[in-house]
Chains A and B, each alone.
Chain A
């Protein structure tokens, strides 16, 4: 069965500092990979996704993620964090098949931004 691990439950960074959120997955083949953000009381918004090709993926709001097959990782990065980035971030995977590609989520990382 596929699984997703986000090792950091909470991360605090200063505004303007760089950010990296870790994500590791377990799956027999390369799955589809996603990062979502959830602000308090809101639904999940897709930041970026990886299906194939270039392993560095650009997303919205200045985020990027790098797929590393050898490490089964898909870490999310941002060079300079803004106070509005404070939220919960979820990594998710979906299998490469035609059954609808249901998502399996990690436990999330809560990002706090210090002024």
Chain B
């Protein structure tokens, strides 16, 4: 089966610019997650979708981050405006049933300068 697809792989932007990341989960996976992984740390959950509804976005900095999954399939994560501390790898993951474990994409490495 095809894995979780993410694009772009790398992005460099200046602070205060905006950026968007895209994720296409494994076909049939109802649950989609966005994680932020700062260098040297473990991934931290930003937002979780079940189909096209938000299950948990308690750790999403909503003043600058937004995410959507309009048709319950692919998803976009946006940052506007970006700050230096947003430099990280943004990982998307999906699962068919939450307890089966996730499949992660390769991530998007964001550098804010």
Q: Give A residues with C-beta under 8 Å from B.
A: 4, 32, 34, 36, 41-46, 49, 51, 90, 92, 94, 98-108
Bound-complex Cα distance A44 to B55 (A): 22
Pair A102/B99 contact, Cβ less than 8 Å: no
Return the chain B residue nearest A101 by Cβ: B98
Sort chain B's interface into a size bin. Answer: 20 to 34
**Other-chain residue from B31, B43, B48, B107 in contact with A105 (beta carbon distance below 8 A):** B43
Return the chain B residue nearest A42 by Cβ: B106
* Complex interface: chain B residues within 8 A of A51 (CB): 99
* Complex interface: chain B residues within 8 A of A92 (CB): 42
Pair A44/B91 contact, Cβ less than 8 Å: yes
Query: Which of the listed residues A36, A49, A98, A103 has the most CB atoms from chain B within 10 Å of its own CB?
Result: A103
Bound-complex Cα distance A106 to B98 (A): 19
Pair A100/B42 contact, Cβ less than 8 Å: no
Bound-complex Cα distance A44 to B43 (A): 10
Query: Which of the listed residues B50, B98, B107, B109 has the most CB atoms from chain A within 10 Å of its own CB?
Result: B98
Pair A43/B50 contact, Cβ less than 8 Å: no
Bound-complex Cα distance A94 to B49 (A): 16
**Other-chain residue from A41, A43, A102 in contact with B45 (beta carbon distance below 8 A):** A102
* Complex interface: chain A residues within 8 A of B98 (CB): 94, 98-102
CB distance from B84 to the nearest CB of A (A): 21
Query: Which of the listed residues B4, B93, B102 has the most CB atoms from chain A within 10 Å of its own CB?
Result: B102
With A90-B42, A100-B50, A108-B42: A46-B31 Cβ-Cβ less than 8 Å: no
With A43-B91, A43-B104: A107-B41 Cβ-Cβ less than 8 Å: yes
